[in-house]
Structure 1
Amino acid sequence: MKRKALLALGLFSLTAWGEFVHWRASRALAHQHLPARTEAVVVLGYRNTRGDRANALNRWRVRAALRSIDPTMDGSTLVCSGGSGAASVSEAALLADYAVAECGFTGQVRLEDRSRSTWQNVENVIPLLEDVDQIKIVSNPLHGQKARLYLRQLRPDLAERLVRAADYRPGEGWPLKPLFALYGLRDLARSKRSMSGTGSVQVVVGGGSWSGTQLHPPPTPHKTADQRETTEGGLPPLGVGRVCGWPLLVNPPPPPPTTRPTKP
């Protein structure tokens, strides 16, 4: 009897710990509310082996993204991010297809389908976030915290617009939360160590900044709808195409590196 009681207590403690870790991560590096009229809800894809339908984890992320949309906003955009891994169709396209075809979402959807890592997810969606008042990043709470940390590193000005998403609900998926918490905390600690090793020195370069191995362009102000096709800071324009009926962000190739002249 005592052994059963200890086992039950241990299971309860582990479950409560998993819930607490996810609850805390969902609130990290994000405001509770902002005075906003427009928003972008970014859902991050997980590797999908099938090319015809989003897997269970991606479907859950889409549902969490849809419930994160604020109906009082003047405009909300669902941004689906994720490249094609093992499947022939990108994670972004599968996320968008599930949101529209199976969940009945009728709002604006934009795709980013070149990313192969969380860092690339964040880096590649930045052009889609410039003109909104608030930003929500949706994934597993610890993965979402990691993405917000990356945005703070890449674009601190955009990170100030981060608002909590609805990717945490008490008791939702509780058997898996301790496992996700263990993996997520380890991954988050690894990411912080990596960033502290490369991003500790910051030098201003032509209005932008150089931090570690990443060049950050200078912060850009909000643009009107008529200005969204133009570029700022000397950067080449971003093309927007369509794949399977979905708008698709097409990033230009990076500019060639500049070299300093050597002294004779």
Structure 2
Amino acid sequence: MLIKTLKKWLKPALAAFIGLFTLAELAYWQGSRNMSAGAASGNCAVLVAGFPSNADGSLHPMQRMRVEAGVAAYRNRACDRLIVSGAAAHNEHVEAKIMAAFARELSIPDDHLIIEDQALNTWQNVSCSLPFLENYDRIFVASDTLHVHRAKRYLCRQKPSWCDRVQVTGGHLPLSLVGWTVPFALHELYSWTRDIAVYERSSSGNVPFCPARH
């Protein structure tokens, strides 16, 4: 009886997962279509959004991908600054410091590297980095190809007059995280829905907030 029940639900469950996975992959593909071009621009800065490190303090594959995307933009666009943002939001390890160490391995000089170690989420990644971005003609936000568009929306909401200066650059999820494609995409859908339904409707929901300044 149990085997029959399992067989009955196996095909619909498998079909649902394949459908969700396909939609998630399409979402990431769509997100990658509006990435910035590679021509040099100068007088620009790159903001790399944080992600939790592994529990042992080692670099998470998502952190690696985001830093690599940021470093590529920094080099291709001849930028002056690379800002890595993220506090110890989910474990005892400061995200920005772990990412900065990897950026140094990729030959980013210390005088071009800024460690923003107060932000606890994407909104604060933007808020806490604003002082480091204000004097640049171009601002590049680096993350995975879906999350980066949320980070740009947040920057545009916090600083509407800067929005025409902001471009996005992103990387694809590593193969080691392919099983997380659906959860990550669902989280972005949830965040998008929450922002429209709650935060964007109130003036306080668009005000920059950084723990270090409050």
For 2:16 and 2:206, locate their aligned partners in 1 and report how far apart those are by CA, in whole Å: 44
TM-score, normalised on structure 2? Answer: 0.75
Report what 1:60 is aligned to.
Answer: 65
1:258 aligns to what?
none
Superposition deviation, residue 145 in structure 1: 1.6
**Residues 69 and 76 in structure 1, CA contact (< 8 A), matched pair in contact too:** yes
Gap change, CA 1:61 and 1:214, over 3 Å in 2 = closer
Q: Is it true that 1:105 corresponds to 2:111 in the alignment?
A: no
1:190 match:
194
* Residue of structure 2 equivalent to 1:257: none
SS state at 1:54 partner: coil
SS at match of 1:186: helix
Letter in 1 for 2:150: K
2:132 counterpart of 1:128: yes
CA distance in 2 between counterparts of 1:36 and 1:112 reads 24
Counterpart check, 1:153 vs 2:161:
no
Which of these two proteins has the greater Rg computed from alpha carbons?
A: 1
Return the offset for 1:149.
Answer: 1.2
In structure 2, the CA distance between the partners of 1:48 and 1:169, relative to structure 1 (3 Å rule), is: closer
Q: C-alpha deviations, 1:51-94, integer Å up to 9, x for none?
A: 64322322222122222334352x33211001123544421111
The number of residues matched between the two structures is 202
Residues 1:46 and 2:51 are matched in the alignment: yes
1:164 matched to 2:146? The reply is no
CA–CA distance in structure 2, aligned partners of residues 52 and 58 of structure 1 = 12
Q: 2: distance between equivalents of 1:48 and 1:170?
A: 15
d(CA) in 2 for partners of 1:42, 1:50:
24
**Residues 1:78 and 2:60 aligned together:** no
**Which ranges in structure 2 are unaligned for 5 or more consecutive residues?**
1-11
Aligned with 1:17 (options 15, 18, 23): 23
Pairwise CA distance, 1:31: 6.5
Contact preservation (8 Å) 1:40, 1:79: yes
Q: TM-score when scaled to structure 1?
A: 0.62
Q: What is the identity percentage for the equivalent residue pairs of Structure 1 and Structure 2?
A: 23
Q: Distance in 2 between matches of 1:181 and 1:31?
A: 21
Which residue of 32, 36, 43 corresponds with 2:41? 36
Higher RCO (CA < 8 A, seq sep 6+): 2
Counterpart amino acid of 2:28? H
User: Structure 1's 161 and 72: CA in aligned 2 closer, same or farther, altered over 3 A?
Assistant: closer
More strand by share: 1
Q: Which amino acid aligns with 1:20?
A: L
Between Structure 1 and Structure 2, which shows a larger proportion of helix residues?
A: 2
Aligned in 2, Cα 1:18/1:172: closer, same or farther, shift over 3 Å? farther
Deviations 1:117-143 (Å, cap 9, x if unpaired)?
Answer: 221111111111111121121223332
Q: Which whole-Å CA distance do the structure 1 matches of 2:206 and 2:192 have between them?
A: 19
**Residue 119 (structure 2) aligns with:** 115
Distance 1:59 1:24 in 2: 22
Cα distance in 1, alignment partners of residues 118 and 74 from structure 2? 24
**C-alpha distance in structure 1 between counterparts of 2:187 and 2:177, whole Å:** 15
Q: Secondary structure at the match of 2:58?
A: coil
What letter is aligned with 1:162? V
8 Å CA contact 2:32, 2:145 repeated in 1: yes
